[in-house]
Amino acid sequence: MTAEDALPPPRVFPGGTIPGLLLLGDLAWIEKTFGPPLVRLHRDGTARVAAAVIPGGTPTPWLAREFPRLRLAAHLDALDEPPDTLALIATPLRQRPAKISQALRRGWHVLSACPPADNAAETTRLCELARRNEVSLSVDLPHRLAPWFRWLRLAASGRALGGCVTFRLHEGGDEISPSEVPPAGAWIDPGLRAFDLIANWFGDMQPLSAADDALGGVEAVARAEFAMAAGFRGSLRLDRDRSAPPSYLLRCRRGTVCWDTASATPARLRLDASVDELTGILRGREPDANRGPAGTRELQLRQLLGAAIRGNEPANHATTLLPALTMADHCRRVRSSLPLPWLSANESAVAASLSLHGRAA
């Protein structure tokens, strides 16, 4: 069975109409990340890419080619899409909450780039607004549908290799949101994905320490250590300075699992005891390399459209991101300064002063 065979069939609203999609924000990012899934959904009649907000008024070559009947507007207010339209919003983070609010008030479902807002309080407010308007606010979290995510969650659950003893997560090689200037700090991008992974795999956590290298701006490198409610500890390194590809290491009582996206064989499993039963659970569930980011985003869109038609909460509802956002808030609040040992003595003194008094984020 291929990934495509497993996809749910197209659904329609009562009366036979299919959901409409509206695109707003960084269209280059939307094309890069959602391009093939949007085209496929549009062509197979699952959804109709109906409108886009383009301040300049000229569609990108991709939009003009793939969706020639697209309605264009310079502002969101100028569009008159029907309720239950799905708005895909990828504006810069500073403008995102306002645009999401606007869309939710129009009765549109929203799929937002991650995160909908840069803190948990604002995201909670948006979730409440969505609830009052009886629409859904979901977040682009394709990693949750990636095969490796479920595979590692299975390992982390303790059924295969015994309980987790410790973990080490490195993130930083790829960004999860549209790029912008100034960039969001590392605690947000890619930090939120890492916090979401930890929350999904290991449950509740408490940060023991958090440090970053912001000196009046936003952090490029951040580190944190956690104590998990399950009784073990783990560490996280977010690094946009060296931009190393993501890698995850889970040490369990009876073995170790490594997931290194830069490696030709990203998954490595080492068993400390050669018991066949141990491998049985994981064997046959190894990640499906054929489903890349485009595949997971298509699955995400299909699930979201299905939920909208059935009136269900989507799996990626923004409330499910709140634990990760709360953790990012907490780390930013308690953070200390990372040492920068390559600086001269004078630079170190100035850096110490900036770190204490000059943090902008």
Partner 1 sequence: MKVAIFNAAGAIGARMVETFHLSGSPQPVALAPAPAGLARAARFAVSLKLVDPASTESLRSALSGCSSMVFAPADEDEPARIVESAATLARACAKGAIRRLVMISEAGPADRKAAEPEDGAESLPGLLPGPRSAALAEAEAVLLEVRVEHLPLTIVLRTGTVFGARVPSFAELARGLESGEGPRPLADAPWNGLHLDNLVAATRAALSARIIEQRVFTLTDPAAITEEAFRAAVARELGVSAGVATNLPREPTEGTAHQIQGFNVEKQLGYRPAVDLAEGLRRSCAWWRHARD
Among 193, 240, 251, 297, which residue interacts with partner 1 (rule: CB under 8 A)?
240
Task: State the DSSP H helix or E strand holding residue 211, giving kind and residue range, or none if neither.
Answer: strand 205-212
**Calpha distance 46→305 (Å, rounded):** 8
| Short-list 169, 242, 237, CA closest to 200 | 169
Nearest 5°: the CA angle 350, 355, 356 is: 100
Between 243 and 290, CB nearer to partner 1: 243
- Whether 112 and 278 have beta carbons less than 8 Å apart is answered as no
Q: State the minimum distance, in angstroms, from the CB of residue 31 to partner 1.
A: 16
Q: With binding defined as CB under 8 A, does residue 245 bind partner 1?
A: no
Which secondary structure element, helix H or strand E, spans residue 236, and what is its range?
Answer: strand 233-239
CA atoms of 316 and 93, how far apart (whole Å): 19
Q: 155 — phi, psi (to 5°)?
A: -65, -40
Per CB under 8 A, does 344 bind partner 1? yes
Tell me the window of 138-146, 239-247, 250-258, 275-283 that interacts with partner 1 (CB under 8 A). 239-247
Shortest distance in whole angstroms from residue 262 CB to partner 1: 13
* Interaction between residue 241 and partner 1 (CB under 8 A): yes
Cα 162 to its chain centre, rounded Å, is 28
Residue 99 backbone phi and psi in degrees, to 5: -70, -40
Tally of residues, the chain: 361
Interacting residue with partner 1 among 45, 83, 203, 216 (CB under 8 A): 216
Rule CB under 8 A: is residue 280 a binding residue for partner 1?
no
Task: State the nearest-atom distance from the C-beta of 39 to partner 1, in Å.
Answer: 25
Q: Does 265 bind partner 1 (CB under 8 A)?
A: no
236 forms part of the interface with partner 1 (CB under 8 A):
no
144 versus 332: smaller Cβ distance to partner 1: 332
Contact predicate 112/96, CB 8 Å:
yes
- Return the C-alpha torsion angle 194, 195, 200, 203, nearest 10: 140
243 binds partner 1 (CB under 8 A): yes
Of 276, 281, 266, the residue nearest 158 (C-alpha): 281
Q: Judged by CB under 8 A, does residue 258 bind partner 1?
A: no
Q: How far is CA 325 from CA 14, 103, 116, 195, 255, in A?
A: 36, 22, 10, 8, 31
How many residues of this chain bind partner 1 (CB under 8 A)? 33
From candidates 78, 334, 343, 356, binder to partner 1 by CB under 8 A: 343
Residue 133 vs 247, nearer CB to partner 1: 247
DSSP 335: -
Nearest to 152 by CA among 295, 256, 231, 224: 256
Tell me which stretch binds partner 1 (CB under 8 A): 10-18, 45-53, 74-82, 350-358: 350-358
Subset of residues 150 to 189 that bind partner 1, contact rule: CB under 8 A: 175, 179-183
Residue 354 contacts partner 1 per CB under 8 A: yes
Q: Is residue 242 close enough to count as binding partner 1 by CB under 8 A?
A: yes
- DSSP for 67-91? -TT-EEESSGGG--PPTTPEEEEE-
**Residue 219 CB, nearest distance to partner 1 (Å)?**
7
As measured in angstroms, the least distance from the Cβ of 193 to partner 1 is 16
**Residues 114, 215, 282, 327: which binds partner 1 (CB under 8 A)?**
215
Q: Which residue has the tokens 């595949």?
A: 295
- The span of 58-66, 237-245, 292-300, 324-332 binding partner 1 (CB under 8 A) equals 237-245
The amino acid at 189: D
User: Which residues of this protein are in contact with partner 1, per CB under 8 A?
Assistant: 175, 179-183, 213-220, 239-243, 338-344, 346-347, 350-351, 354, 358, 360
